[in-house]
Amino acid sequence: MNEKVYPTLQAFFQSIGLPLEQDTELTIHPLKGLHGDKPIKSPLFRTNYFTIVLVTGGKSTYIVDNHTFPIARGAFYFSNPGHLKAFEIETSLTGYLTTFSEKFVKQHFEKNFFTQFPFLVEATTPVIDLEETTLESLVAISEQMLQAYNTPSPQKQAMLSHYLSIILLKTKEILLDERRVIHPTRRDDEIFIQFKQLLTQNFVAIAAGELHKVYSVREFAEQLHLHPNYLNQIIKKTTGQPPIKHIQARTLTEAEGLLTNSNKTVSEIAHLLGFTDTTHFSKFFKKHTNQTPLQYRTDQQL
């Protein structure tokens, strides 16, 4: 599969010829007018960010991992990085589109974030048709979050993380009530979900000080009782990127979080993440961010 993988919401909107500016790792936008005022059909695509959509009006179709859902008032759904998706908007939607990255999660939430919200790493979740009272409560939260997003404040990121936490807790409650999850029907999807779970567990153990090593593709393959080449083939086919890219992205996110939120030295962070020496870590970090670890830490403190 050759579907494009977009790292940010801005990058995706640029690809479909629509203007959208993004300067934070978490965004929230009103759906009204966001996709223009004409019917639009997207190509199949993947993203490296989480998406939450709450619809209060309009008509659309949403496709995710070969499942198709009609979208109208009361539709509520989310997608995780790597899912293959597309949409077709027939009449302009109203509601809210929220996106956030794993980097935002690392910077603003506790280490057990993905344990608390396992639906963010486990499986495809279907579109949920909300009852009116639940829809109204989520609209109220989204409006408050949108106001915080559009208001300059030194506490902006903290407020946004607060509202995101409320939305995710509400989502968890809704899923428990609905008890609906699309369980993977293909072996490929099962392998991808298991790989993501192992990757998350790896970094949870690192964060807890129980492990000083990021597993290699070969080691993940061994845990899944698969040949490394086969794991590489499946993950690339399922997400558009080989497993090493997922491992590197998670390593980078962990490094950025530690540089921003801890007093550990660069040498200590390098050791914690399993790098053989600080130089190797610094080269890895600069390759992916165009900054040295110290430059990045300084910029975050400004």
- Tens of pLDDT, residue by residue over 135-174, are 999 999 999 999 999 998 899 999 999 999 999 999 888 8
Note the pLDDT of residue 122. 60
Q: Which pTM was predicted?
A: 0.69
Confidence of residue 1 (pLDDT cuts 50, 70, 90): very low
Q: Is the same domain home to 22 and 122?
A: yes
Q: Is the same domain home to 70 and 26?
A: yes
The CA-based dihedral angle spanning residues 88, 90, 91, 95, taken in that order and rounded to the nearest 10 degrees: -20
Confidence of residue 185 (pLDDT cuts 50, 70, 90): low
Per DSSP, the three-state class of 48 is: coil
Confidence of residue 53 (pLDDT cuts 50, 70, 90): very high
Alpha carbons 183 and 259: distance in angstroms, whole number: 37
264-288 residue pLDDT tens = 899 989 988 888 889 999 999 999 8
Q: Is the same domain home to 64 and 146?
A: yes
CATH for 100: 2.60.120.280
Residues spanned by the domain of 92: 5-178
Q: How many CB atoms lie within 10 A of CB 155?
A: 10
Q: Is the same domain home to 145 and 230?
A: no
Q: Is the same domain home to 95 and 207?
A: no
Note the pLDDT of residue 192. 81
Q: Which ranges constitute the DSSP H helices of 208-277?
A: 217-223, 228-239, 243-261, 266-272
Question: How many domains are there within the chain?
Answer: 2
Q: Is the same domain home to 88 and 108?
A: yes
Average pLDDT, the chain: 86
**pLDDT at residue 237 above 50?**
yes
Q: Is the same domain home to 251 and 172?
A: no
CATH for 226: 1.10.10.60
Tell me if 164 sits within 8 A of 102, measured CB to CB: no
Share of the chain above pLDDT 90, in %: 43
DSSP for residue 171: H
Alpha carbons 95 and 297: distance in angstroms, whole number: 37
Q: Is the same domain home to 257 and 130?
A: no
Q: Is the same domain home to 157 and 268?
A: no
Q: Is the same domain home to 121 and 51?
A: yes
Radius of gyration from C-alpha coordinates of the chain: 20
- One-letter amino acid identity for 236? K
88-116 residue pLDDT tens = 999 999 999 999 998 888 888 877 787 78
> Which among 150, 178, 206 is the end of a domain?
178
Q: Is the same domain home to 195 and 171?
A: no
